[in-house]
Amino acid sequence: MIPLSWYLILSAILFAIGVASFLIKRSIITIFMSIELMLNAVNLTFVAFANHWHQVSGQVFVFFVMVVAAAEAAVGLAIVLAVFRTRETLNVDQVNLLKL
């Protein structure tokens, strides 16, 4: 059987990749994808711990995270559309009207 720590290390690595690409990537869509990656890393942690404690509540939490992620995606893509309509670009470096 695969030990718990392996799952935790994997999810930590996934989460770190998500954070790194959130900071490095310049396209709004890719940034959005990296947030999804972070959420899925969290889901993996939940499932691993739910298995470890023999508690269903961890797995139920994953469903809630998925539902919320879907709702966020719906709103997020609508906002991305609004930005594209006013700006004709999805590069975050050019979305810079609001600055000191």
Partner 1 sequence: MTATPELSYVRILPEIILSICGIVVMFVEPLLPQRGSHKSLGVFSFVGTLAALIASLYQTNYPGWGWFNMIRVDEFSVFFHVLICAISAVVILASFEYLETQEIRGGEYYALILFGTVGMVLMSSAVELVLIFIALEISSIATYVLAGYRRRAATSAESSIKYFLLGSFATAFFLYGVALMFGATGSTSIYTISSALQSGQVTLGASSVPVSYSLAYVAVALMFVGLGFKVASAPFHIWTPDVYEGAPAPVVALMSTGPKAAAFAVMLRILFGAGIDTSKAWFWLVWISAALSMTLGNLGALLQSNVKRMLAYSSIAHAGYLLVAFAAVIAPNARDTGISAAIFYAAAYAAMNVGAFAVVSHFARHGERYVNFEDYAGLGKRSPILAATLSIFLLSLLGLPATGGFFAKFYVFNAAIKSDLIWLTVIGLINSAIASYYYLRLIVVMYMYEPQPGEEKLQLRAAPGLTAALVITAIITIWLGVRPAGVLDYATRGASRLLPSFQQSSNLSR
Separation of alpha carbons 21 and 41, rounded Å: 14
The CA distances from residue 42 to 11, 31, 46, 59, 69, in Å, are 7, 17, 6, 11, 12
58 part of the interface to partner 1, by CB under 8 A: yes
Nearer CB in complex with partner 1: 9/60: 60
24 part of the interface to partner 1, by CB under 8 A: no
Interface with partner 1 (CB under 8 A), residue from 20, 24, 60, 66: 60
- The count of other CB atoms within 10 Å of the CB of residue 43 is 20
Separation of alpha carbons 100 and 11, rounded Å: 38
Place of tokens 């994997």: 10
| Shortest reach from residue 71's CB to partner 1, in Å | 6
| Shortest reach from residue 6's CB to partner 1, in Å | 14
| Shortest reach from residue 1's CB to partner 1, in Å | 18
14 part of the interface to partner 1, by CB under 8 A: no
